[in-house]
């Protein structure tokens, strides 16, 4: 629902199709490579990380994937998309356009919460979380683990 409001309010449809790689209504989606669902399911690996105009889901090769293709409940997908929208809303472009201050700690904590929900839903998958409070992607991403008693690590 938030996507529809945001899309209608701020961005022309042609630009959104480029950002979100979607075909116009009534036309089939064209894929130039294996689709996200196949890649995610084959690798059983997902990175949870926000980046501008993505959906918070990335494969092992660093390609942005659609949250709809992650085999989890719609509630988890909605959390991912809402978390990503929160990030996009505070795009660093002009400060005069921002609403309030961006709470990095709260945003990061919610992302970790979502990554843990994904790990619960997909216990045999590798779920990696990019901890934005700790630094750059190469140094500060880590796997979310779940022990035999259902406790998360790290």
- Considering the domain boundaries, does residue 149 fall inside one? yes
- Considering the domain boundaries, does residue 3 fall inside one? no
- Considering the domain boundaries, does residue 24 fall inside one? no
Query: Which has more confidence, 58 or 52?
Result: 58
- Considering the domain boundaries, does residue 43 fall inside one? yes
- Considering the domain boundaries, does residue 140 fall inside one? yes
- Considering the domain boundaries, does residue 27 fall inside one? no
Predicted confidence (pLDDT) per residue in 73-109, tens digit: 999 999 999 999 988 887 665 555 555 677 888 999 9
Domain that holds residue 70: 34-92+101-153
Per-residue model confidence (pLDDT) at position 93: 57
Q: Could you give the number of structural domains in the chain?
A: 1
Prediction pTM value: 0.70
Per-residue model confidence (pLDDT) at position 75: 97
In sequence order, the 6+-apart residues with CB closer than 8 A to the CB of 115 are 48, 127, 128, 129, 144
- Considering the domain boundaries, does residue 54 fall inside one? yes
- Considering the domain boundaries, does residue 129 fall inside one? yes
Report the distance separating Cα 42 and Cα 3, nearest Å. 28
């Amino acid at each position: 629902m938030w996507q529809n409001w945001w899309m209608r309010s701020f961005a022309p449809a042609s630009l959104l199709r480029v950002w979100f790689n979607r075909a116009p209504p009534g036309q089939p989606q064209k894929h130039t490579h294996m689709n996200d669902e196949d890649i995610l399911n084959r690798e059983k690996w997902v990175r949870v990380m926000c980046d501008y105009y993505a959906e918070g889901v990335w494969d092992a090769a660093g390609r942005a994937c659609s949250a709809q293709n992650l085999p989890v409940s719609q509630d988890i997908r909605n959390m991912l998309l809402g978390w990503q929208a929160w990030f996009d809303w505070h795009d660093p472009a002009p400060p005069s356009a921002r609403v309030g201050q961006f709470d990095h700690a709260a945003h990061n904590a919610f992302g970790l919460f979502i990554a843990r929900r994904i790990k619960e839903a997909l216990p045999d998958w590798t779920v990696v979380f990019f901890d934005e409070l700790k630094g750059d992607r190469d140094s500060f991403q880590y796997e979310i683990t779940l022990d035999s008693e259902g406790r998360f690590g790290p």
